[in-house]
Structure 1
Amino acid sequence: MSKASEEANLIIEKYPQKIGGYYLMGVIEFDKQHYAKSVEYLKNALKCDIENKAGGFIHYFLGKSYNEKSKDWFTDFIDNPIYNFDMAKFSFEKSFEYENYPSETIKELVKIYKKDHYRMVNILKKAIVTFPENIDFILQYSNSLGEINKSEDSYNIISINANKLKSSSLYYKAGVLLYNREDFANARLNFEKARELLDSNKITSISILNYQIANTYYKEQILEEALGYFQKSFDLIIEDNAKDIQYMNIDFWFSAFGIISILGELNKTDTLKDFISTIPFIKDSFENFDFSGEFFLDTSNSFSIDYEFYNNKCITALDNLSKKNKDKTLLGKVSWIKFLIYREQNSQENCLNTLREIMNYDISIDNYLFEVLSQTYYYCINEKISEKNEYGHLIKSLISDLESYNSFRNNFDDYSLNELIDWLFSDKNYQAIINLKKNFTSVQLDKSDSWFEIAYSYNEIGDKKNAQKSYEHYLSKNKNSTAALNNLANIYHAKNELIFVEKAIKLYEKAIKIDTSDKDLYLNNLSSTKETREALIKEKSTKEILEKTFKRAIGLLKNENYFSLESLYNFILNLKRDDDFQNNEIPIEDDYFPSLMNTNFSKSKKLKESWLSKNYIIHTEAFDNHNVPIYMINPYLYDAVIQQRKIISENDIPPKWLEGIEGLSVSKLEEIQYFNILEKINKINKKYKPIIERDFNELVFNHLVGNIKSTIVLSGSFVELILTYYLERKKHFQIQYSNSRQKNLYDCNLFDMISFSEEKGFFGKDFFHLTNLSRVYRNFIHPGLELQNELNKGKSDLCFISTMEIFKLI
Structure 2
Amino acid sequence: LYGLNYCLGWTHEIGGEFLEARACYVSAVDTTYWEPDRWYGIIGVLNLDLVDSDPAKIQEFVMDINFSSHLFEGGTTWAARPFFLSAHAVDDIDLHQVKDFYLKLSKVKFADLPDIYIGKLWMMRYLLAQGLGKSMESYKAIKNSIKYLFTSHYDFAHDLHLESLHGLILDCKDRENDIIRVYDLFLEELSSSHILKKAINILSDLIDLLYAKKMYDRIVELSKKFTDKELVKTERLFQLAYCLVHIKENKRGKVIYELHLKTEGESAAALNNLGLLYVENEQYEHALGLYTRGLEIDPEHENINKNIKIAQHRFDEIKAQEITRLTLEKEFRASTAALHLENDYILEKLSQFILQIKLQEDFKEWLVPIAKHKFYTLLNIDRQRAESIREQWLKKGYLKQTDDRDQNGSIIYSINPFMEAEMLKLSKHKIPKQWIDGFISISIQSLEQVDYFSIMERIVKVNKKFRALLERDFNELTYNHLLGLQKATIVLSGSLVELALTYYFERKKFKTIPVKDSKGNIKNKKLYDCVLSDLIDFSMEKNFFGNDFSYLSNLSRIYRNFIHPGRELKDSLDKGKADLCYISTREILKKIV
**Deviation at residue 328 of structure 1 after TM alignment:** 3.1
1:491 alignment partner, one of 277, 287, 290: 277
Q: Distance in 2 between matches of 1:544 and 1:349?
A: 69
8 Å CA contact retained: 2:25, 2:45: yes
Q: Secondary structure of 1:355's partner?
A: helix
CA-to-partner distance for each residue in 1:451-485, whole Å, 9 max, x for gaps?
11111111111111111111110000233211111
2:295 equivalent to 1:512: yes
Measure how far apart 1:250 and its partner are.
1.7
Aligned to 2:35: 249
Give CA deviations for 1:144-202 in whole Å, capped at 9, x if unaligned.
xxxxxxxxxxxxxxxxxxxxxxxxxxxxxxxxxxxxxxxxxxxxxxxxxxxxxxxxxxx
AA partner of residue 528 (structure 1): I
SS of the aligned residue for 2:308 comes to helix
1:431 aligns with one of 217, 225, 229: 217
Instruction: Please point out which of 443, 451, 463 is paired with 2:249.
Output: 463
- d(CA) in 2 for partners of 1:426, 1:209: 48
Query: Residues 389, 221 of structure 1: CA spacing in aligned structure 2 closer, same or farther, 3 A cutoff?
Result: farther
- After superposition, residues 332-371 of structure 1 pair within 5 angstroms as 332-362=119-149, 368-371=156-159
Q: Does 1:537 align with 2:319?
A: yes
2:5 to 196, 210, 221: 210
The amino acid across from 1:222 in the alignment is: E
Range with greater deviation from structure 2 (288-297 or 264-273): 288-297
Corresponding residue SS for 1:250: helix
Percent of residue pairs identical: 20
For residue 418 of structure 1, report the CA deviation from its aligned partner: 1.8
Which residue of 168, 184, 207 corresponds with 1:396? 184
Is the 1:375–1:413 Cα contact (8 Å) retained in structure 2? Answer: no
Q: Distance in 1 between matches of 2:157 and 2:307?
A: 49
Contact 2:271-2:294 at 8 Å conserved across structures: yes
Q: Classify the secondary structure of the residue corresponding to 2:148.
A: coil
Deviation at 1:225, TM superposition (A): 2.6
Match of 1:728 in 2: none
Task: Determine if the alignment matches structure 1 residue 473 to structure 2 residue 268.
Answer: no
Deviations along 1:350-398, whole A, 9 cap, x unmatched?
1122233234332687754444444433443443342454532221121
Matched with 1:27 is: none
SS of the aligned residue for 2:93 comes to strand
For structure 2, the residue ranges without an aligned partner over 5 or more in a row are 328-593
Q: Does 1:528 align with 2:314?
A: no
Relative distance call for 1:302 and 1:373 in structure 2 (3 A) is same
Q: Which runs of 5+ in 1 are unaligned?
A: 1-205, 242-247, 546-810
Structure 1 contact 296–303 (Cα < 8 Å) conserved: yes
Distance 2:172 2:22 in 1: 40
Aligned letter for 1:458? Answer: L
> Displacement, 1:262?
1.6
Q: How far apart, CA to CA, are the structure 2 residues paired with 1:323 and 1:532?
A: 75
- 1:224 deviates by 2.6
Report if aligned partners of 1:214, 1:229 keep a CA contact under 8 Å in 2. yes
Q: Is 1:322 matched with 2:110? A: yes
Q: 2:61 aligns with which of 267, 275, 296?
A: 275
1:601-627 C-alpha deviation (Å, 9 max, x unpaired): xxxxxxxxxxxxxxxxxxxxxxxxxxx
Tell me the TM-score normalised to structure 1 length.
Answer: 0.38
2:266 alignment partner, SS class: coil
State whether structure 2 residue 236 is matched by structure 1 residue 236: no
Q: Give the SS at the match of 2:147.
A: coil
Q: Deviations over 1:632-666 (max 9, x none)?
A: xxxxxxxxxxxxxxxxxxxxxxxxxxxxxxxxxxx
Structure 2 contact 49–58 (Cα < 8 Å) conserved:
yes
Q: CA deviation at 1:413?
A: 5.6
**1:303 is paired with a residue of what secondary structure?**
strand
Q: Select the residue among 195, 209, 215 that pairs with 1:408.
A: 195
Deviations 1:375-434 (A, max 9, x none): 43344344334245453222112101112x1111112262x3222211211111112212
Partner of 2:233: 447
Aligned length: 324
Rg larger in structure: 2
1:318 Cα offset (Å): 5.5
Tell me whether 1:503 sits opposite 2:291 in the alignment.
Answer: no
Say if 1:254 and 1:308, in contact at 8 Å, map to a contact too: no
- 2:396 maps to none
TM-score by length of 2: 0.51
SS at match of 1:360: helix
Residue identity matched to 1:304? D
- State the Cα distance separating 1:436 from its structure 2 match: 2.3
Q: CA RMSD in A?
A: 2.7
* 1:7-45 deviation line (CA, Å, top 9, x unaligned): xxxxxxxxxxxxxxxxxxxxxxxxxxxxxxxxxxxxxxx
Give runs of aligned pairs for residues 677-696 of structure 1, distance below 5 A.
Answer: none
Distance 1:358 1:530, change over 3 A: farther
Q: How many angstroms does 1:229 deviate by?
A: 1.7
CA distance in structure 2 between the aligned counterparts of 1:301 and 1:544, rounded to whole angstroms: 91
Structure-2 separation of matches of 1:276 and 1:282 = 13
Judge conservation of contact 2:83–2:92 (CA < 8 Å) in 1: yes
In 2, Cα distance between equivalents of 1:222 and 1:398: 48
How far apart in 2 are the matches of 1:522 and 1:365?
A: 57
Are the equivalent residues in 2 in contact too, given 1:230–1:258 (CA < 8 A)? yes
- How far residue 539 of structure 1 moved from its aligned partner, in angstroms, is 4.7
Q: CA deviation at 1:319?
A: 4.0
Deviations 1:231-260 (A, max 9, x none): 1211222xxx5xxxxxx4321111111112
* 1-structure distance, mates of 2:108, 2:125: 12
Cα distance in 2 between the residues matched to 1:366 and 1:467? 42
Shift of 1:440: 2.9
